[in-house]
């Protein structure tokens, strides 16, 4: 070894200087979030990351492979956090309340989006576009999220005994639309409300969203019995 201690230095520098693969995936996430899959070229990404285009092929196969990899990366994290949140809620109280279940689904997003790691905001901006894409959005969202969503549906069914199957699925659909738009941070609400609401005030909107959605679920799925508090 010509440079004694170089291994330590390497490990230290590894923490500070990210791999080119990571740089590509991070820049891609930010750009795809802004303009969608078709609105970003590989050169947009690799130029901003300061690497060569050919590296995309080496690390991800092609543009689609890069897109899939970056969706998968945070979907895994989000699914794990949601799964743990649901588990905690059900351990404490089974069946849990509708509010608790909705909160287990949405609160992990709030945690991530208010964290120091600002790149989570990009991810949710991207998810909003994917969720609302009529061509491949449904399939893509299903692929990454539906296995766990099924467990949330099961919990909601237990929380709303005697409810109609279709009612629960449709209500989840309303939740999904409100949720993805909310965390997409499009700034529309800022202009519409002339500054009364700020699109990036995620705590405020989350505090309203959970009871809003929970109340809708109860209204639609509890037709047969009296609404309980």
- Binding residues (CB under 7 A) for DNA: these are 19-21, 40-44, 51-59, 62-64
Given candidates 70, 155, 180, 202, which one binds its own copies under the rule CB under 8 A?
180
Judge whether 106 and 217 are in contact, CB under 8 Å. Answer: no
Q: Which of residues 160-179 bind its own copies (CB under 8 A)?
A: 165-167, 169-179
Around Cβ 48, how many Cβ atoms within 10 Å?
Answer: 16
Q: Is 41 helix (H, G, I), strand (E, B) or coil?
A: coil
Look at residue 151 and give the partner it binds from its own copies, DNA, none, a contact being a CB closer than 5 to 8 Å depending on partner kind: none
Residues 98, 160: contact at Cβ < 8 Å?
A: yes
The structure tokens listed for 68 are 């899939």
CB of 3 to its own copies, least distance (A): 46
Q: Which is nearer to its own copies, 58 or 136 (CB)?
A: 136
The CA-atom distances, in angstroms, between 74 and each of 29, 68, 81, 154 are 11, 11, 11, 24
Closest to 179 measured CA to CA, from 227, 220, 216: 216
* Closest to DNA by CB, 65 or 162: 65
Which residues sit at the interface with its own copies, rule CB under 8 A?
33-39, 125, 128-129, 131-135, 137-139, 141-142, 146, 149-150, 153, 165-167, 169-182, 184-193, 196-197, 199, 204-205, 208-209, 211-213, 215-220
């Amino acid at each position: 070894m010509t440079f004694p201690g170089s291994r330590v230095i390497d490990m230290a520098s590894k923490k500070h200087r990210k791999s080119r693969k990571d740089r590509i995936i991070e820049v891609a996430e930010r750009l795809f979030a802004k303009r969608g899959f078709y609105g970003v070229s590989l050169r947009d990404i690799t130029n901003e990351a300061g690497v060569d285009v050919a590296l995309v092929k080496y690390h991800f196969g092609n543009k689609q492979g890069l897109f899939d990899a970056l969706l998968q990366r945070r979907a895994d994290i989000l699914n794990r956090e949601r799964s743990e949140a649901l588990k905690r809620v059900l351990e404490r109280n089974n069946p849990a309340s509708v509010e608790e279940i909705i909160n287990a689904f949405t609160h992990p997003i709030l945690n991530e989006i208010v964290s120091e790691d600002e790149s989570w905001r990009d991810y949710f901006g991207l998810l909003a576009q994917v969720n609302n894409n009529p061509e491949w959005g449904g399939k893509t969202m299903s692929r990454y999220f539906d296995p766990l969503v099924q467990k949330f549906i099961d919990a909601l069914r237990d929380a709303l005994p005697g409810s109609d199957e279709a009612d629960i699925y449709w209500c989840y659909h309303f939740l999904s639309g409100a949720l993805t738009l909310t965390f997409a941070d499009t700034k529309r609400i800022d202009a519409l409300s002339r500054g009364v609401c700020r699109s990036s005030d995620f705590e405020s909107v989350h505090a309203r969203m959970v009871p809003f959605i929970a109340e809708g679920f109860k209204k639609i799925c509890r037709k047969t019995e009296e609404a309980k508090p």
